[in-house]
């Protein structure tokens, strides 16, 4: 029997009415003869309310108890969804994480799955039942409830697909992954096929749709994921192993990240060990540094720039100011009005001149590049935030819409 995991996010189970609607996707697969395993998130808003409740009990709630509390959100959703499926004649049986079981480590609130038991699910399917599994939650070997962190239901679904060796459908409130944010680029189009690596690099586009860790997990085990809308019947985006992505393009998508700040340490004496002196205290303060740029040295001095998440910018600046004084730098300058624009595509590996083309597009519009970082399949430029949308539109027009630079020879 062909198996299929179908995962429904919070907006897909936001109300009894929405649950009634999504049963058509479950029912269709079941009627087509699939052994269907449903994974459900909590109803939209429930997890946030529970977090608020916990914070009113203790501003820093103990994480073990936080997991006990949060796990009730998905438990309620699977019970209600199973009731509705049964009302419609589909023999659903809800299963909490501990009932599957989804065995995790004991890092509460962000546990990682170690093992998935499939005996109970398989025997339910053999009886013609539809297991409806609570996403986001697991159980430690010691018998404690854990949760997998925000978006963890995606990971539950992928882990089940790995264990059952089948495809995984992720039902969400968008039609799939787009070549750029459609609110910025009116010509943005849905991507039919994307590789795991591209999906991972598309963080700013993709993270809103799927938890990054679940994509890494799928990549590791080669699970085919179909991200699609629970509000329409349209095909969505398939996330696949690279060799299965048929359409060869240079650039798969354009992503934009306006959540970072740039901090520049001005006129640093250029001596060995200076970078370590600057970045060690930031690491100790658990601040993640993204792009780092060190200019060439002039008369024994250099400028050092880096970006951090804007939420950490104030703290990072304070730490760096202290370091700057110690190492004799002239000044520290912080700029919150920056944007990181990126082009992503596995085709870049075998295509030349893509970076140069990107810089040219930005230059033609008079957009100054503050920093550049590259990976095998991604080029990112830090620019003034006010040009962010213009840059995305121009890059989309050049790399996605322009047939000349679009396709490549495999």
> By the criterion CB under 8 A, which residues form the site for its own copies?
16, 19, 50, 53-54, 56-58, 61-62, 64-66, 68-69, 71-72, 75-76, 78-80, 82-84, 86-87, 92-94, 96, 98-99, 120, 143-145
Cβ distance to its own copies smaller for residue 37 or 205 = 37
**Residue 230: CB minimum distance to its own copies, A:** 17
Burial of 304 (0-12, 13-18, 19+ CB in 10 A): buried
What is the nearest approach in angstroms of its own copies to the Cβ of residue 3? 22
Q: 3-state DSSP call for residue 127?
A: coil
Residue with Cβ nearer its own copies (134 or 166): 134
Write the DSSP symbol of residue 179.
Answer: S
Cis peptide before 28 (omega within 30 of 0): no
Query: Which DSSP string corresponds to 292-311?
Result: EEEPPPBTTEEEEEEEEEHH
Tokens of 56: 């009113």
Q: How far is the CB of 46 from its own copies (least distance, A)?
A: 10
Task: Tell which residue, 73, 70, 90, 94, has the closest CA to residue 22.
Answer: 90
Are 387 and 232 contacting, i.e. CB atoms less than 8 angstroms apart? no
Nearer to its own copies, 37 or 185 (CB): 37
Distance of CA 137 to the CA centre of its chain: 18
317-326: burial string, b at 16+ Cβ within 10 Å, e else: bebbbebbee
Nearest to its own copies of 15, 187 (CB atom): 15
Taking the complex as a whole, the smallest distance from the CB of residue 216 to its own copies amounts, in Å, to 30
- 87 or 322: CB nearest its own copies: 87
Residue located via tokens 């658990």: 286
Q: How far is the CB of 4 from its own copies (least distance, A)?
A: 22
Considering beta carbons, is residue 58 or 244 the nearer one to its own copies?
Answer: 58
Smallest gap from residue 132 Cβ to its own copies (A): 9
């Amino acid at each position: 029997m062909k198996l299929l995991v179908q995962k429904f996010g919070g907006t897909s189970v936001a109300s009894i009415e929405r649950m009634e609607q999504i049963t058509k996707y479950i029912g269709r697969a079941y009627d087509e003869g699939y052994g269907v395993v449903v994974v459900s998130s909590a109803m939209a808003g429930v997890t946030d309310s529970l977090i608020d409740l916990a914070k009113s009990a203790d501003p820093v709630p103990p994480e073990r108890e936080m997991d006990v509390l949060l796990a009730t959100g998905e438990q309620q959703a699977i019970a209600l969804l199973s009731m509705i499926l049964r009302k419609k004649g589909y023999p659903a049986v809800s299963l909490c994480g501990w009932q599957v079981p989804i065995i995790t480590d004991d890092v509460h609130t962000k546990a990682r799955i170690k093992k998935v038991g499939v005996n109970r699910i398989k025997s339910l399917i053999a009886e013609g039942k539809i297991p409806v599994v609570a996403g986001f939650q697991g159980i430690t070997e010691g018998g404690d409830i854990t949760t997998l962190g925000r978006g963890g239901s995606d990971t539950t679904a992928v882990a089940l697909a790995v264990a059952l060796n089948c495809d995984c459908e992720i039902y969400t409130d968008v039609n799939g992954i787009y070549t750029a944010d459609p609110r910025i680029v009116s010509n943005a189009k849905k991507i039919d096929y994307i590789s795991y690596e591209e999906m991972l690099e598309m963080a700013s586009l993709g993270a809103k749709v799927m938890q990054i860790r679940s994509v890494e997990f799928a990549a590791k085990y080669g699970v085919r994921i179909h991200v699609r809308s629970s509000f329409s019947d349209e095909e969505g985006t398939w996330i696949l192993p690279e060799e299965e992505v048929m359409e060869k393009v240079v650039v798969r998508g354009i992503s934009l990240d306006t959540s970072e700040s740039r901090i520049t340490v001005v006129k640093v004496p250029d001596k060995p060990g200076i970078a370590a002196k600057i970045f060690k205290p930031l690491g100790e303060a658990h601040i993640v540094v993204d792009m780092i740029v060190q200019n060439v040295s002039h008369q024994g001095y250099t400028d050092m720039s880096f970006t951090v998440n804007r939420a950490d910018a104030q703290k990072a600046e304070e730490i760096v100011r202290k370091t700057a004084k110690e190492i004799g730098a002239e000044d520290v300058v912080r700029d919150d009005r920056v944007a990181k624009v990126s082009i992503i595509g596995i085709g870049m590996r075998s295509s030349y001149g893509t970076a140069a083309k990107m810089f040219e597009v930005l230059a033609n519009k008079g957009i100054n590049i503050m920093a550049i970082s590259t990976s095998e399949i991604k080029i990112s430029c830090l620019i003034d935030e006010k040009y962010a949308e213009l840059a995305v539109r121009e890059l989309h027009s050049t790399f996605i819409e322009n047939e000349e630079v679009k396709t490549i020879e495999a």
